[in-house]
Structures are given as C-alpha cells and as structure tokens.
Amino acid sequence: MKKIALVLVVMMAGQYAISQNKFRFGLKLGPAVNWMKPDDVKKFENDGATVGFNWGLQAEYALSDNFSFYSGLELNQERGKINFAPSDNSSLVVYFMDDEYNFSPLKEENGIYSPEDTSAYGIRLLNRTYKSTYVTLPIGMKMKTNEIGYMTYFGEFGLNIAFRTGTKITDEVDYMGNVAAKANLSDISEVNMDKDMQPVRMQLRAGAGAEYKISEGTSVFGAIHYNLGFTNSVKKDSKLMLNEKLFSLSLSQSQQSDMQKRMRSLILEPISTQQKVLTGALKALEEQSSLMKKMLSNSIA
C-alpha cells in the first residue's frame, strides 16, 4: 500500500486547570474530526471525514509570565476512510481471508504470489474504514497574553508523539462472483488490523484558545488544535494485500502455459503458410525442369 498520512483537525478541548506556583495541571476532553490522505491520489482517495474523541491530562511549567512549556498524556480514538476504487480504472487491490475473518499473509515463490492459507478466499477491497486508538504524548510551547479582565488568550506549537494500541477495520468489498466467500464473509467489520499499521506516529501540532479565570489558581480552557501527521500511519508495503502489479505477476502456471500456446500458434501459423507457398514453388520449378529436359532430348534426337 502507498504511504498514507493521517490528519487530525479541529480538536475542541475543554480543560480544567489548577495552579500551584509555576506548575499547572488539568484535565482535557473533546471531539475530533479526522481524515486520511493517501499519497497516490490517482489510485486511492480520501473517503470523507469522521469524528473521534480525545481525553487526557495536561501539565504546564511557566518559564515567564507569557511563555510556558507544556506536555501531558492523551488517549485518542480516531477514524479514517479510504476509497480503494474511486473509478473504473482504479488499480485492483486484493486480499485473502479465511472463514474466521483472519487475514492470510502472502508468500512469494519464483515470482508468483499466493496466500499461505490455500483455503482462504480472494476478495477485492473497495472501501475501508480504519478505527485506531493511540496513547499520545504532546510536547510544545505555549505563548499567552496578559490577563484582560478574566480572559487570557494563547497560542501553542509543538509535536505529538503517538503510540498505537490497536486498530480495527471495516471493509466494503467485491467478492468477484465467489458465492462461498460472500456466504462465509458476509460482514467484514471490526476486524483486527495490526500487521499493516505503523506502531508510532508523529504530528506537528498548532493551536489557539482562550482561558477564563474562575478563581485564584483555577481556570477553564477552550482551544482548537490542528495536528498534521508527517509520518506514516499505514505501512507502505502491505504483507496482506496484492496490488494490480503483483497480481499480474502472479498468473498461475496453467495460465502462463495457455498464453505460451497462444503465442506459439501466432508465431507458427505464418511460418506454416510460408512453407506451403515455398513447397508449391519448388514443385513448379521441378515440373519446369522436367519439361526442359524433355524438350532438350527431343531436339537432340
């Protein structure tokens, strides 16, 4: 599979913070709008935005009245959708699955790719929804204004380092006329997908918000964050899926021999025709030669 970057957009966070000298800590929670962006948009495309949820702890250490360092620990539940067949000319993507909804890894032998489980069904992937959970460590700097009434406004910039704890997928597929596959794999949803996912993800993080002071040392925050992933969420080379290029290299031996027979017939057919023409010309020359011999013998006599 081509590289896919996960983008987390517009996270509304409500926070309750308690201050103790230069150190502050608090709780945060809020919804998130997520989408996935494939690198090769000619073959695959984003299939729309989805809604997730985030919650966790945040801590700040004041470096001055207007600058502070922040970090924390968050749990992110995210979704993303990819359309693997956006047009009739899209590349074919196939995977193999058994009756228990387990993916069969692929093996390669002499340039031929096949599933390790010979009883697995071949299925064409059309659309996939990823549902992932991450434990995220945010790190960054926070810049804020002086207090205006009870309000303070701030901006943030930093990194998110996220560790994936699990991923499940729900697929829309084409059974390619296989009645048994459709009967036994009628609902491909909430299937574990760990082998094709990256364990760690990094994001750029930027945001802005406002803080309302409730009392001395206690405030409520509201913020909007934009988190842009710059590392893969899905592995570039899948161990479970065949693309069109590999599929074309994986013709069975019988298919290859049939193709070779057809090529051979195309090559031998014109040769046999030429042989017939040459044979006829040789016969005509032999007849003319015998006729000349008779004519010479008659003239001598």
Q: Please give the full DSSP string across 25-57, using - where no structure is assigned.
A: EEEEEEEEEEEEEES-TTT-EE---EEEEEEEE
Task: Say if domain 4-250 classifies as CATH 2.40.160.
Answer: yes
CA atoms within 13 A on the CB side of 152: 19
What's the pLDDT at 20? 57
Largest CA distance in the chain: 143
What's the pLDDT at 12? 40
Question: What is the model's pTM?
Answer: 0.72
Element (H, E) at 248: helix 244-249
Whether 171 contacts 203, CB under 8 Å:
no
Where do the structural domains in the chain lie, given as residue ranges?
A: 4-250, 252-301
Per-residue pLDDT of the chain (301 residues; tens, 9 = 90+): 333 333 333 334 445 555 557 888 888 888 888 888 777 656 777 788 888 888 888 889 999 989 999 999 999 999 889 888 877 766 788 889 988 899 988 887 777 778 888 888 888 899 999 999 999 999 999 999 999 988 999 999 999 999 999 999 999 998 887 888 888 888 899 999 988 899 999 999 998 999 888 887 788 888 888 888 888 888 877 878 877 555 544 433 333 334 334 333 333 344 344 455 455 655 665 665 565 555 545 444 4
